Structure 1
Amino acid sequence: MIKRFLGHFRSIKYKFLFANLALLVILCSSIIYLWNVRTAQDTRISVGEYINEMLKITNDNLEVSLKDIYGLVNIAASDSDIVQILSKPSTISDAEYVQDDRKMRKYIAGLFTYKHYLNDITIAGNERNMYSLGHSVSFDFLTGQPWYGKLWNQEGATVLIPPHYNSDNPVTSSSQDDKVISIAKPVYGDNQAVGFVLADVRTQLLTDIFSSNLKGQVKMLVADTKTGNLIFKPQLAGLDQMASDSNAFAPIIQRIRNQEGSFYTRLGKVDYLIVYRYSPLTEWMMVALVPKSHLLEQFHQTRNLTLLISILFCGAAAIVSILVSSFLTKSILRLNRAINKVDGEHLHLQIQIKSNDEIGQLYRQFNQMVHRMKELMESTKRTEQEKRKAEIRALQAQINPHFLYNSLNTIKFLSVYQGADNIRKVTESLSKLMHIAMKDHSFITVAEELDYLQCYMNIQEFKYSNKFTYSVSVEDEMMICILPKLLLQPLLENALLHGIGPMKGQGMITLKGYRDGDLLIFRLQDNGVGMTQDAIDKIKSQKGENAGLGIRNVSSRIEMTFGHEYGVSVVSEPRLYTIVEVTLPAIERGEEDQYV
């Protein structure tokens, strides 16, 4: 199973498919991860900013409501009639007290207009001069409260009293709704305190304000920054028991350093986002608690939906990749199977691809290569057959030179026996020529080449009936150098046939050889009919007649053996002379292997 899988992975189709899927999975995973991190951060920031704005609105609403009460208290504390009434001693008559009480009740009732959360207003100077609308607490109860001492230590400032039970009998007021927030201010007359004004506001004000702006899972916590006590506690499932204990929220209050901000914390077994804001008027810290699960609920739903869509998209992309890879690699696989069937016996592709893309080009190029291979193999086969035939003919032809060589020796023996020196000389020279030609060596020494030329000239002297003279002048140091066999003979033959032969009179041929550094230079000169420059150019361009065959043959052999820097040069003057100069590298026996 594993081997089969690995075999598939070696296929270009599956490599293409796996590469696409891997790239797709990495891309989708990276995008989802970055989106998850960034969205979570943005969600926290957005929710924090939203809740902070709601806290600001809530605080503004609370301060507006409390400032109304502050205004009422300040008006009452500065009213001259109230100052006059509170300045009276406690020994006033009952009639005067009833008259003042009626007047004060009417005044207090006027302050209640459009103040829905105002529970009661108490104006008191002493135990007898105490006026309110239905307030049942005693003067001694009020003066015994902790806030009463602060009232006179604030030098006439208004005092905000956190939620408390304003009753002589707190047992009968056990409900949270029975608590009130009080605002008190001393009353001064003739630069001395004559009493105070106390306004009670129902804590329902806090509940209504906080509940109207922050709904759902978001709950409020309000703490007094001076005492650390909770002013308003959240009613949240799982936090009710903790909410009954102010110390449970102490870590939250301790982490607050600025006037506004947010952070994550854990209460009980639940993680919360804490958003807080400070109120300068009340000196309270308003804290909003948002469960993290609720905070990211919409985000998690979106994330899960995104994951589902990504999985479906990856599945669809996998199907598309399979189809596309199958389509793109179909021709490649067909070509691969066809190529695997090509061998020495089947030199043709059994498929046909008509596409104009790279695969079609590869098919056509490979098809052309196969055709060339087929033609080359057929050509090689024919060459081998011709080579075998040539070898057979060569073996057969070897008999003739040996037979001719033996026959010449017989003629030489008979000429000596009969005293025919001319026949002996020609036969002996021809026998030497054949002996040199029958040697297997491609290179011979300069001395051997000169002997060969001498034998050739001995035969030609009888042919031309002493029509020319022949002289050789070659430096001795050149004799041990080597050169290709029978290289100079065609030039000498060309001089006799086309230079000396057509002329009238005695001809002269000279061969000179000398060494110039690493070069061997042979200069063959005759006084024959010569050539024009056009004839020389035709010989060099290989367009000449038979007169140039020997020169071109020697020049080609030299260039093929030693390179283009060596060769033959011709200088001639019509009816005067022709000079053929041969340039060769100076090499000795043993160095010829690099040129063979």
Structure 2
Amino acid sequence: MLSLRKNSVILFRTQISLLFFPLIILPLCIVGFVSYKSSYTAIEARSASNVDNISVLANQNLDSLMQQMSQLSLTMLYQPEVLHTATYYANHPDKRSASVQDEDTMHTFFVNISSFNTNIVSADLYSTGNVWFSSNYAYAPFPDWQHLHWFKQLTHASAQTMIMPVHTLQYLADSSNANAPSVFSIAQTVIDSDTLQPIGVLVINVDAHAIIQTIANSQGKTDTKFIIYDKDKALNYPFQPDSTSSVKNIRLIQNAVQGQQRHISLNSVDYFLSNNTSLYSQWTVVALVPVTSLTQDIEVIQWTTIIAICVTLCMATGVFWFLINKIGLHVSQLRNLMRQVEHGNLDVRFHFKGNSEIVTLGQSFNHMVSRLKQSIQDNLEAQLQRERAELAALRRQINPHFLYNTLASFQMIAITEGCERVARMSFTLGQLMSYALNSEELVSLEQELEHVRSFLALMKEEYEDRLQFEIHIAGELQDCIVPKFTLQPLVENAIYHGIDPKVEAGFICIRVSQQHELLLFEIEDDGVGITEEKLVQIQEALRYDENILKRSRHIGILNIQAQLQRIFGRTYGLSIESHAGEGTRVLMKVPLSRKQQVQDSI
């Protein structure tokens, strides 16, 4: 049994129960109602979108069919013999019939066109003269075609295409025209390639049943009805009017399309309505989908929602108590662990499973305790390091002036006995020791570079002509402040690891420049360089993010990196570029600060 209080403290699980448990039923009911309404609205919107897609798809398929036929009609322009025959009879209106050879030429061409698509009933050429050619002479031509509106329109302009609405071909031999095919026609102006004048019209008659096949391929639901009419509102589909496509209903549908209505009622049946007008054929496709076929799932959704709410209420109640108990146990465990930490026990840990927010809080607690313990250990180690450093400093300071005076004595003896080289080296070494005895941590760039020059002068005594060097610095940077002993170890590395292993002479170049608020140092040598494997190890050591005190235990370049980051921060320090056999370039980046600025801040 769950307790509500412990040691006069209201438990977390109790607070959660009092705050949220009475609010479970109402939110679930609201969510159920909103879900039902959202589903209904979504189905209705999706239905309207599907209907729109049906009409668009149907028109696209019809356009594709018509464009294919239009392309076929243009093939005559690439048949010189056929075009020449057509031109001849256009220029000779006195010819009432064609020769047998010309008939065969034209018939062969039309048969080839018809073979490209089985829906082509016939292909005819109506000349501006008085001759008519056809692939199928079983059908009668348009009578007196020169005076028909479509023929006049096409022959008074060049390279025009016209889509002729559905009509019935007439048989020549059967006056009753029983079973005469219904077709729609693609009419294309034929022009003379020399004069660019119209010489006739090529008409491709396409079986109207191709429209039925196109509609079937576009029909999203079997009970979708289509109405197709052209720009003059002449009905192209269906061919035979039914209850939906009666004259009265067609007029209602066209008025609804014009009024951009989305719903229409025909013969006591409600329909979703969408339409699409082709820019190519100017045909309008109207799709009518019964509302009942799209919303028949709404009642199922309604009852499903009610049942789901009831089941969810029962499950939520059980899950609610289970989660409250589990979360409460986690909170209690965290509270007890925090009390142990308050009493100094830093070895406690929150043992968790899962990925809930409380578990994440426990992970953060573990991380906090670990960091706290590590911080204490680091502080102890830092204190130990400082004590060791102070001890080492004391040891280094034992009689330093005795050594300095001894070097001065060596210098005097060397001068007296004429050993200028020994005297020069003693003087240079004395300068280096004098700089080392300076207790300041930050020195001017002028002092640091003078120390480097002294060191290079001493190395020059050893390497003689094998060592050459240059130092480039702008005069206005002389008073900039840098950490003491940062350049000399880098130059020393360049000599011992770059120049010394070479047989030939080596060159070291030191450049100091300003880049915005940064002071940049470049120490470049043409020594033996660093192998790629070793360079990767050094670069990884420079990027190492562990305790900086641990890094300071290493020597040379890592100690300089540690010193720079301890003084200026992690964004400053060293980077190295090197190629084996070509040399090494070390770049040091520190913030630009001048001696006067440091004195003013003090």
Per the shorter chain, which TM-score range? Answer: 0.3 to 0.5
TM-score by length of structure 1 reads 0.43
TM-score by length of structure 2 reads 0.42
Higher Cα radius of gyration: 1
